[in-house]
Structure 1
Amino acid sequence: MTLGDILVNVQGVAKHYGEGETRVDALRSIDLRVHAGEVIALLGPSGSGKTTLLNVIGCILAPTAGRVELDGDAVFDGIWLRSDLRRLRLDKIGFIFQAHNLLPFLTAEENVSVVLDLAGWSAAKGRARARELLDYLEVGHRAKVKPALLSGGEAQRVAIARALANRPRIILADEPTAALDSGRAQLVMDLLRKLATEQEACIIAVTHDEKIFDRFDRLIHLRDGRLADA
């Protein structure tokens, strides 16, 4: 495949907790580059550092050492280089989780547009963008329905729409298909691949779901906080 811009560039990233005999090294000198259009999986046993690495890339967790660049901008180099991490996440990163985490008192459309409200979009533009995404993900006909009345696959598509609302180029997914059957899991991964290609984004997913391994460009294995391959 032809590689696009480098959207995630992690250099020498380490993360440890505690000191002395109680020190735990969650990440050890991680180097990783992910390009626009790539869909990669982070694999490894529990405690290998997968979620820690995802949280570092998502600017949720500060590394102990190293450098992180997102979409061409340096965001961490020993210290955070951006003062407003919430704004950074809104601008650059979309998050998809195993549980859809939709707000039960809002409709599908409102669950998507609320992200744009936070980003400062007008109500009208936010609703229009929400409908555009829901239509794109083939759940536009469910826009006025609340989460309790959505199927599992529909709810996950609404959650994906929410993650894409502000047009982030970096999409981080934590076990996005674990709650879905084989057919729905493969459909979700096909949607994510389509999004990566059409919107020049990258997808980084933590997963144990072997039935979707063939949907990834690379399988990145972590063991004891180190990359086994990249």
Structure 2
Amino acid sequence: MRAPLVELVGVAKGFGEGEARVQALSDITLSAMPGEVVGLRGPSGSGKSTLLNLVACILEPDAGLLRLAGETVWQGRWAPGDLRALRREKIGFIFQFHNLLPFLDAIDNVALALTLNGVPLAEARRRARDLLDYLQVGKRASAMPAKLSGGEAQRVAIARALANHPRIILADEPTAALDSERAQVVMDLLRRVAREQSATVLVVTHDEKIFSRFDRLIGLRDGRIETETRPSTAEDV
């Protein structure tokens, strides 16, 4: 049987001290499998972004267990190792706004993620070109971010997130700045990546127009999992 790539058991997280303490997450237990695209929805303050940042190993849990790609990374304390290296090697990030560096063209925005991980520039640019072609934006490899459409820029950002072959892809409102058509294209690309690369994709979203593109949609409220549905009606892409 396949093992989950993301697994949280009884995870909790709060902020502040004493009477000012706010419990952001309580007793979160969930797992996500290779090839699965999971959405996290809920009102502002429900804990969606906190949950994403815990999986990203940016925030430290207060309690519970966090396991990524079969390795326990937090259980009472962080496991020994370099968290920055773990994030570079196992996790890819996609944000609401593409956050491309404005002074680098598309190919070098992607290649930079590889060179920061020690890959020689020539090899990094070859990998970047392959990724841009894979995401059907290779013809825009030499374009500067200001010359890319919103959908093109988001594809470049996805290529950057995939640069180091992560098995876990975390996306924070990746379609919020896109119209309906481009949002559907981006979600179809994420579904394709999940299946072809056996990756897990976790997406924080308020965007109801993409709810049908998820394998599972988890609803949070007041720091707890309230609902879990399987809304996907899309064919595999």
The answer to whether the superposition gives a TM-score over 0.5 is yes
Q: What is the correspondence of 1:28-177 to structure 2 with a 5 Å cutoff?
A: 28-177=26-175
SS of structure 2 residue aligned to 1:228: strand
Match of 1:212 in 2: 210
Superposed structure 1 runs of 4+ greater than 4 Å apart: none
SS of structure 2 residue aligned to 1:26: strand
Contact 1:213 1:219 in 2 (8 A): yes
Contact 1:10 1:68 in 2 (8 A): yes
Q: Establish whether residue 202 from structure 1 lines up as the match of residue 209 from structure 2.
A: no
Task: Say what the alpha-carbon RMSD is for the aligned residues.
Answer: 1.0
Query: 1:149 & 1:87 partners in 2: Cα distance?
Result: 32
Compared with structure 1, are the counterparts of its residues 37 and 4 closer, same or farther at alpha carbon in structure 2 (3 Å cutoff)?
A: farther
- How many residues align? The count is 228
Structure 1 residue 22: Cα displacement: 1.2
Contact 1:47 1:224 in 2 (8 A): yes
Structure 1 residue 5: Cα displacement: 3.1
TM-score by length of 1: 0.97
Query: 1:229 & 1:210 partners in 2: Cα distance?
Result: 15
Compared with structure 1, are the counterparts of its residues 82 and 144 closer, same or farther at alpha carbon in structure 2 (3 Å cutoff)?
A: farther
Contact 1:41 1:216 in 2 (8 A): yes
Match of 1:10 in 2: 8
Structure 1 residue 110: Cα displacement: 0.3
Match of 2:231 in 1: none
Q: Deviations over 1:3-60 (max 9, x none)?
A: 8431001011100112321111000010010000110100100000000000000011
Compared with structure 1, are the counterparts of its residues 229 and 4 closer, same or farther at alpha carbon in structure 2 (3 Å cutoff)?
A: farther
SS of structure 2 residue aligned to 1:10: strand
Contact 1:189 1:212 in 2 (8 A): yes
SS of structure 2 residue aligned to 1:110: helix
TM-score by length of 2: 0.94
11-20 vs 43-52, greater mean Cα deviation: 11-20
Q: Deviations over 1:77-97 (max 9, x none)?
A: 111114311100001000000
State the identity as a percent. Answer: 64
Q: Deviations over 1:61-112 (max 9, x none)?
A: 1011111100001111111114311100001000000000000000100000
Match of 1:226 in 2: 224
SS of structure 1 residue aligned to 2:113: helix
Structure 1 residue 228: Cα displacement: 1.1
Q: Deviations over 1:112-152 (max 9, x none)?
A: 00000011111111011000000011111111111011111
Query: 2:77 & 2:219 partners in 1: Cα distance?
Result: 27
Alignment-mate amino acid for residue 74 of structure 2: F
Query: 1:165 & 1:15 partners in 2: Cα distance?
Result: 30
Query: 2:80 & 2:102 partners in 1: Cα distance?
Result: 33
Match of 1:22 in 2: 20
Contact 1:4 1:37 in 2 (8 A): no
Alignment-mate amino acid for residue 214 of structure 1: S
